[in-house]
Structure 1
Amino acid sequence: MNQDTISKYSVANKSVMVYTTAENTALRLTKTAAKTFVKAEQPVESEISVFVNTNKTFQTFMGIGGAITDASAEVFAKLPKDKQETLLKAYYGKTNGIGYSLARTNIHSCDFSSGSYTYVSDEAKDLNTFSIAHDTVYRIPMIKRAIAEAGGDLLLYASPWSPPAFMKTNKDMLHGGKLLPEYAEAWALYYTKFIKAYEALGIPIWGITVQNEPMAKQIWESCIYSAEEERDFLKNHLGPTMEAEGLGDKNIVVWDHNRDLINHRANTIFEDPEAAKYAWGTGFHWYETWAGGDPMYDNIRKVKENFPDKNLLFTEGCSESFNADHYEYWPNAERYGSSMIHDFNNGTVGWTDWNILLDQHGGPNHVGNFCFAPVHANTDTGELIFTPSYYYIGHFSKFIQKDAKRVSTASSRSPLLSTSFMNPDGSLVTIVMNQSDDAINYNTIIDNSEVKLEIPAHAMQTLVIQ
């Protein structure tokens, strides 16, 4: 992984503010300590330490956010006006919220839509009936309000779950199937029409992913691409069409699926110069554990090692199998914390949660694939439920600034996970997660200085040094 050089940093005369979220407490992004650094002593093996080397920096941080899907927008529209404002400020507010700066949305329908739909009303390849009128009812108004709450700057990208049924081998938007070769040009044009339609309404689109989960035959909208098929569609159709339509400056993200097969997909696409030239980088999800085993965090590092000039973007993750009794289920939050720390430490530049808002049933979802979101709304009462996952994500998104540089960080013991970023304003942010059942006293050693802290059991802390 390439290292950048920054000017010599020192914590001399700097203080550290500590913010904590912890299980079985009322602590939720709560300021719990303010300390100053002292000269570091040689740590010993019986202590637990976090080591930060500010002379070694890595990727540039792009942002953190979540997806504004049809489901999120439909639930949002059912909320009272004051609760709508509460939600927007909670996510996108930089002072009282957690400062989301990144968003994903769907190109026509996905499972988190109330039903399947497309933007065309006939099967003509010229797409002359293309219209995003459907999205102007719920989704576009919510996206516009999110952009405004974020201060006018929200990096938004879009993903398709399936081409229209007539373009596919199975003549069905659901249940997998493949793109018919004779519709490759029309489907490539579809992306460009989506981008232009959204931008005509004042919603900038940063880029697109080629296909959501291209190796999953789902009961909802899905479409299968082998690595070679995605490579060739990008190289021969999508990339050239984007350029021909004046959208060559938009970013194209490949894969957009789990960490398990990511290396094969990256190898296949990025080893082909004619395909690779159109790809900004690789997107990935966290659901590889469905087949057994642990998250394959190390695969992300290996992609970055092999293709250091390509970027990594986490494009989707959520806790599946919704159960309203588990709103406060702490392992859901820890899944976020663990993934974010590992993914950033392995070179990821941005991290995108799935639905930012769902209802009290974990939907709406037109095939019953109900899931958790960091925030749920009871549409009967208008109540907002903020889960621990919201606060765990906030330990990153609230404090790491756009264009921050990741800083070398390591823990001496496995119960503590940690990552650090140097912000453009000169503040240093170190995030520490305690996965254990016990409170832990630990040293944070930055170059030649240290501060001694305590983190509760099953807790997340953000240390802001400035």
Structure 2
Amino acid sequence: MISPISSSPAFLLTACLLATTAHAQKSVDVYLTAKDSGERLSKVATLSLGGRGVLTEKEQRIFVDPAKTFQTLLGIGGALTDASAETYFKLPVEKRRELIRAYYDSEHGIGYSLGRTHINSCDFSSASYTYVAEGDTALKTFSIAPDEKHRIPFIKDALAAVKGPFAMYASPWSPPAWMKDNNHMLRGGKLKPEMRDAWARYYVAFIQAYEKAGIPIWGLTVQNEPMAVQRWESCVYTAEEEKDFVRDHLGPVLAKSGMADKKIVIWDHNRTWIFQRAQAALNDPEAAKYIWGVGFHWYSDDAFDNVRLVKETYPQTHLLFTEGCNFPYDRTKLSDWNWGELYGRSMIKDFNNGADGWTDWNVLLDETGGPNHVKNFCYAPVHADTQTGELMYMNSYYYIGHFSKFIRPGAKRVISSSTVDRLLTTAFKNADGSVAVVVMNSSGEAQAFALTIGQQSVPVSSPAHSILTLVVR
């Protein structure tokens, strides 16, 4: 089985990168992914921190302070959808093993530690479906049989490769059609007031069924994209309706069912409205007591500051990036370098603004950007050509890996400050004491900088259009 991650360096950084100091106290392992090179998460050097040197205003530096800590990392990962699972089972067995190792093995892959899946069907299903018969508010017919052919075996294969903590959460795209005022799973509509209790019990039935199947569920989001009327599975909640549903139904029903430990995440939509939706729910103490955090997507303006505002206003509330992908799909553009840089920029800024975790959308799609029953095709970090069995790794896979492989669950974010805008950075201190510093250069020119921690420093060069992870031990 061939790992998609390069294991031997073919790229030499500049001479200054290789500088060492005899009296250095800490080593720095350097991992690189760079455009127009063969480097993909390649270990290219081991450096040593030495003297700090003379500081000058024009010198580019990354200052790291491991003593000042912020949020604790929940995990980094992607969504295990019907589309991903169906594509997975079209692959030869050896390619399935390669994919699982590439994503979930922390040594030979990128060590995903967070997963999302869907309750009922979503757009990335081959058809719409639910788990109960029409009108069954008692949920006597509840069955996850639609998931048992592909999705559940796929998730279990992924979990079997994980070493260490893994958090799986679930999101509904739509209740059954008969629970909604438009009598349809697609095109928006609202949950009927008289169905709120039955719908809350539906989440409990899902958790029980999945856990019986061997898949622990860490938490739930209330509704995927509750402000959007989509041509696929969707359901609209106002801020007040979402708050009331959590306060009066979902929270109490989970508690009554012995599931008070399951985390509830509200919003699960774009950063643009995150503060207003958080404010509406978290200003109500009776609703807030059930809410673990606020989820968000990237499908509108960046609005990174809105994430920060939620954290500053509600410091005890957790923040979770729940979905992002690039679209529309065009197979001829799989190798475009900008896809990975969009991920790197978002992850750095979301973490620096307080996010506890970061979840990509589909972990795997086919050569068409699907399957998808409404032709809403998009990119995934890995695509499979189901005709040839080939796996195609986009650069976004490697960019995500620069975080997920080296920043592990339980890590604490620490200060990482860049003196120039062209070098984006974030850093985390892992439980083993190592500090992972991510530095992204999306400019068209190499950027020399000095990594500085306390009174020690080492010169580094970041190639044009590259991302580095510097692991300090």
Match of 1:422 among 420, 429, 433: 429
Distance in 1 (CA, whole Å) between partners of 2:151 and 2:126 is 12
The correspondence of residues 141-290 of structure 1 with structure 2, limited to 5 A, is 141-151=153-163, 153-289=165-301
Determine if contact 1:333/1:392 at 8 Å carries over to the other structure. Answer: yes
Normalised TM-score (structure 2):
0.94
Asked if residue 345 in structure 1 is aligned to residue 360 in structure 2, the reply is: no
Determine if contact 2:66/2:435 at 8 Å carries over to the other structure. Answer: no
Q: 1:232-291 CA distances to partner (integer Å, 9 max, x unpaired)?
A: 0100111111111111111000000000000000100000000000000001101113xx
Distance in 2 (CA, whole Å) between partners of 1:189 and 1:152 is 31
Letter in 2 for 1:238: L
* Alignment-derived partner of residue 292 in structure 1: none
* Alignment-derived partner of residue 375 in structure 1: 382
Determine if contact 1:43/1:49 at 8 Å carries over to the other structure. Answer: no
* Alignment-derived partner of residue 4 in structure 1: none
Distance in 2 (CA, whole Å) between partners of 1:256 and 1:288 is 13
Asked if residue 66 in structure 1 is aligned to residue 78 in structure 2, the reply is: yes
Determine if contact 1:122/1:129 at 8 Å carries over to the other structure. Answer: no
Moved more, 277-286 or 12-21: 12-21
* Alignment-derived partner of residue 392 in structure 1: 399
Letter in 2 for 1:205: I
* Partner SS state of residue 288, structure 1: coil
Distance in 2 (CA, whole Å) between partners of 1:253 and 1:402 is 19
* Partner SS state of residue 260, structure 1: helix
Letter in 1 for 2:214: G
* Alignment-derived partner of residue 109 in structure 1: 121
* Alignment-derived partner of residue 8 in structure 1: none
CA RMSD of superposed structures (Å): 1.0
Determine if contact 1:169/1:179 at 8 Å carries over to the other structure. Answer: yes
Give the Å deviation of 1:45.
Answer: 2.5
Distance in 2 (CA, whole Å) between partners of 1:89 and 1:126 is 41
Match of 1:23 among 35, 60, 63: 35
Long gaps (5+) in structure 2:
1-22
Q: 1:102-125 CA distances to partner (integer Å, 9 max, x unpaired)?
A: 100000100000010000122121
Distance in 2 (CA, whole Å) between partners of 1:18 and 1:250 is 38
Give the Å deviation of 1:153.
Answer: 4.4
Moved over 2 A (4+): 151-154
* Alignment-derived partner of residue 322 in structure 1: 329
The correspondence of residues 395-414 of structure 1 with structure 2, limited to 5 A, is 395-414=402-421
Asked if residue 307 in structure 1 is aligned to residue 314 in structure 2, the reply is: yes
Moved more, 139-148 or 121-130: 121-130
Determine if contact 1:50/1:412 at 8 Å carries over to the other structure. Answer: yes
* Partner SS state of residue 232, structure 1: helix
Distance in 2 (CA, whole Å) between partners of 1:282 and 1:296 is 15
Give the Å deviation of 1:456.
Answer: 0.6
The correspondence of residues 46-61 of structure 1 with structure 2, limited to 5 A, is 46-61=58-73
Give the Å deviation of 1:331.
Answer: 1.0
Q: 1:11-36 CA distances to partner (integer Å, 9 max, x unpaired)?
A: 95111010000111111001112111
Determine if contact 2:25/2:50 at 8 Å carries over to the other structure. Answer: no
Give the Å deviation of 1:201.
Answer: 1.1
User: Identity of aligned pairs, percent?
Assistant: 56
* Partner SS state of residue 96, structure 1: coil
Asked if residue 461 in structure 1 is aligned to residue 473 in structure 2, the reply is: no
Distance in 1 (CA, whole Å) between partners of 2:334 and 2:55 is 39
Distance in 2 (CA, whole Å) between partners of 1:343 and 1:171 is 37
Distance in 2 (CA, whole Å) between partners of 1:47 and 1:25 is 27
Distance in 1 (CA, whole Å) between partners of 2:451 and 2:348 is 17
Give the Å deviation of 1:316.
Answer: 0.4
Aligned residues: 451
Give the Å deviation of 1:42.
Answer: 3.5
Moved more, 357-366 or 122-131: 122-131
* Partner SS state of residue 291, structure 2: coil
Determine if contact 2:75/2:166 at 8 Å carries over to the other structure. Answer: no
Distance in 2 (CA, whole Å) between partners of 1:446 and 1:189 is 51
Determine if contact 1:65/1:100 at 8 Å carries over to the other structure. Answer: yes
Q: 1:368-423 CA distances to partner (integer Å, 9 max, x unpaired)?
A: 00000000000000000000000000000000121111011111111100001111
* Partner SS state of residue 272, structure 2: coil
Give the Å deviation of 1:357.
Answer: 0.1
* Partner SS state of residue 113, structure 1: coil
* Alignment-derived partner of residue 102 in structure 2: 90
Determine if contact 1:219/1:367 at 8 Å carries over to the other structure. Answer: yes
* Alignment-derived partner of residue 56 in structure 2: 44
Q: Structure 1's 304 and 12: CA in aligned 2 closer, same or farther, altered over 3 A?
A: farther
Give the Å deviation of 1:46.
Answer: 2.1
* Alignment-derived partner of residue 20 in structure 2: none
Determine if contact 1:16/1:465 at 8 Å carries over to the other structure. Answer: yes
Letter in 2 for 1:37: L
